[in-house]
Structure 1
Amino acid sequence: MFERFTTSAREVVRGAVRHAEDTGSDTVGEAELLLALLDRTGSPAADALAALGAHGRRDSIERALAEVRRRGGISNADAEALAGLGMDVGEIVARVEEAHGVGALATGGAPARTPRRGKRPPRRPFAREAKSVLERSLRIALARGDKHIGDEHLLLSLTARPGIAAHVLADHDVTYVQVERALAARAES
């Protein structure tokens, strides 16, 4: 599958690994893939995200991803659904952090150990949901008749199914349908 990745898509994957390292996450997940896509410029996904205003709201997107991480992966949509059942996620997080310290529920784990001199740094595996994004990007590319997997397919894959990235993007007015339209408009110009 990776042999079909364009240079831009490979850079997104490498960027996601760097974001995981920066946040101390043990694995690469959807959030890191989204942040790596937001780092891009001059590519189909970057142009679509710019057209939809996501680049201008990057700080807000990063804060939303950090808040989801702090809540142990619970998105705003999940928190609202739980509130409908009488559960205050904010209160639960506050109580857990009071007892166990700030960030106790944060997903990602402890920072990786620093490698010894001459040793390679530890490899960050891809979380199940990130692997699903990569696999889905192949299916999306094939369905569109593309012989490659570009960063646009990764972005479409992130928005195609419910997940942390899709929820945060939807909260910032970026949905699968809007991404498809932005990509079509880019192709026409």
Structure 2
Amino acid sequence: MTPLDPALLTEARTTRDRFLELQHGLETARADYNHAVRRLHVAGGSLREIAEDLGLSHQRVHQIVEGGDTPSHRGRGGRGGPRRFAWAFERFTRRARQIVVLAQQESEALGHSRVGTEHLLLGLVRAEDEAVASLLADAGLTADAVRGQVMELVGDDPNRRRLPFTRAAKRALDTALHEARGLGDNYIGAEHVLLGLLADERSGAVAIVRALGGEPDALRAAVFASRSA
């Protein structure tokens, strides 16, 4: 196999990073816009009034208000595919999005070819969510400790090119959506991401939690207790 041209590879990675940054900015702006539209409706605005004032169709406003910004959760990606993930990502809070971005950064910095549940856990530990960070710290899950376990679990991959999410990571984020719904929340926050990661006993994230002396069930209980406090 002919080795890739280093200069072209660097250019491709730089362009990819710019694209991901712009894409993230677009998704954030769209989520904020849709949230503002929903707030207008909650405040008493009718769908017709909102549509007329914002220059949108009645059907479009209805889609936004009902949370169906993406026309279909199926498509080429199938169940749990890119469209469904994009739809769920719109509901992520700023800190929950930060977790995903940090997970991608950690995976690349560690020389890994994919973003797994272990990287999401590392992003969760690093994210600026004091409540969840405190729960994790009490369980012995600090950034350095988790990063060390990730290196032991995944190792190094010198042939990395792109950073797709593993099936387990996608499943964890999808579970976070279901956890949020089950709790009656219309957003996905850091606590929901944590619950999603803890739901799969076979995941790398749970393996790291146990390796560092934590107990998934105890962490879940702590999340629920913190919400009712």
TM-score range, shorter chain: 0.5 to 0.7
Q: Which of 129, 136, 142 is the equivalent residue of 2:175? A: 136
Q: How does 1:29-68 map to 2 (within 5 A)?
A: 29-55=116-142, 58-68=143-153
- Letter of the 1:156 partner, please give it: L
In structure 2, relative to structure 1, the CA distance for the partners of 1:138 and 1:42 (3 Å cut) is closer
Q: Which of 198, 201, 206 is the equivalent residue of 1:159? A: 198
Preserved contact between residue 140 and residue 153 of structure 1 (Cα < 8 Å): yes
Aligned twin of 2:219: 179
Q: How does 1:77-92 map to 2 (within 5 A)?
A: none
The separation in 2 between residues aligned to 1:184 and 1:10, in whole angstroms, is 21
Shift of 1:164: 0.9
The separation in 1 between residues aligned to 2:166 and 2:91, in whole angstroms, is 21
Aligned twin of 2:62: none
1:149 aligns with 2:178: no
Shift of 1:166: 0.5
Alpha-carbon deviations, 1:37-79, whole Å to 9, x = none? Answer: 1112334422321233322xx4333222211113xxxxxxxxx
For the pair shown, the structure with the greater C-alpha radius of gyration is 2
- Letter of the 2:146 partner, please give it: I
The separation in 1 between residues aligned to 2:108 and 2:159, in whole angstroms, is 10
- Letter of the 1:164 partner, please give it: G
Aligned twin of 1:21: 108
Shift of 1:109: 5.2
The separation in 1 between residues aligned to 2:186 and 2:214, in whole angstroms, is 26
Preserved contact between residue 158 and residue 166 of structure 1 (Cα < 8 Å): yes
The separation in 1 between residues aligned to 2:131 and 2:184, in whole angstroms, is 16
Aligned twin of 2:92: 5
Over 3 Å off, 4+ runs:
41-44
- Letter of the 2:129 partner, please give it: G
1:110 aligns with 2:159: yes
In structure 2, relative to structure 1, the CA distance for the partners of 1:175 and 1:148 (3 Å cut) is farther
Shift of 1:152: 0.9
Which structure carries more relative contact order (alpha carbon 8 Å, separation 6+)? 1
The separation in 2 between residues aligned to 1:137 and 1:187, in whole angstroms, is 16
Shift of 1:6: 0.7
Percent identical: 32
- Letter of the 2:145 partner, please give it: S
The separation in 2 between residues aligned to 1:11 and 1:152, in whole angstroms, is 13
TM-score by length of 1: 0.66
Shift of 1:140: 1.3
TM-score by length of 2: 0.55
Q: Which of 210, 217, 229 is the equivalent residue of 1:170? A: 210
The SS at the match of 2:173 is helix
In structure 2, relative to structure 1, the CA distance for the partners of 1:143 and 1:109 (3 Å cut) is farther
